[in-house]
Amino acid sequence: MRFLREHGYHGVTTEQVYRYYADGQPLPARPVLLSFDDNVGNHYTTARPLLARYGFTAAFFIMTITLGKNGYMSATQLQELDRQGFDVHPHTWDHQMVTKYRTGGDWHAELVEPKRELEALLGHPTPFFAYPFGVYDVASAAQVKAYGYRGAFRLNRIPGEEAADPLFAIRATSSIPTGRSTSSRRR
């Protein structure tokens, strides 16, 4: 964190990254979206204080099956993260890959219910999603969109990726090229 701060990096939110790709809104110099997946307890006890100390924001993508369980952040801790300005979004109910869902019930349990639960807990929309293991395909990207999310973060490229809505295939591990023209940001 000290390195990032000392080298002029600026923390950005999921909304800022979304707006960059959706509308071409500029980002600060050397943008970085820090994210934490799965709802591990030390994200609150270790990462949160370090982020605050060095002036960075971050996104926390939550498996809602973990709420109330030992070793994971509590509902109260998630509310506190949210109040402190950190992003909190769904990461499914139990971390099953979206490419393995077969029924409407699977999609409902893994995407709809976690979103509903976090929105009730936080009192506002949670419009972004991180694919478990960073894995997705074109069909699952379309499903995530159909279930009311505004964007989704992935890790690796997939065959046929160009057919997916790029807002549902935002690469989480890449740097954002701030020198490109805005017309090329959204396919």
Domains and CATH numbers, the chain: 2-184 (3.20.20.370)
**pLDDT of amino acid 133:** 93
Q: In what order do the strands lie in the sheet with 59-62?
A: 35-37, 59-62, 87-90
The predicted structure's pLDDT at residue 173: 65
Q: Is 180 exposed, middle or buried (0-12, 13-18, 19+ CB in 10 A)?
A: exposed
Tell me how far CA of residue 2 lies from CA of 8, 9, 29, 45, 60, in angstroms.
10, 10, 17, 18, 20
Q: What's the confidence (pLDDT) of residue 171?
A: 87
What is the distance between the alpha carbons of residues 51 and 105, in angstroms, rounded to a whole number?
Answer: 37
pLDDT at 181: 32
> pTM of the full predicted structure?
0.90
40 forms beta bridges with: 72
| 56 Cβ contact partners less than 8 Å away, ≥ 6 residues apart | 1, 4, 5, 11, 32, 34
Beta strands in 139-183, from DSSP E residues, in sequence order: 151-154, 170-171
Give residue 31's pLDDT: 95
Q: For the chain, state the CA radius of gyration.
A: 16
Cα 134 to Cα 157: distance, rounded to the nearest angstrom: 10
Q: Residue 164 and residue 131: Cα distance in Å, rounded?
A: 14
Q: What is the mean pLDDT of each run of 10 residues along the chain (187 residues)?
A: 95 96 96 95 97 97 97 98 98 96 97 98 98 93 96 86 89 53 32
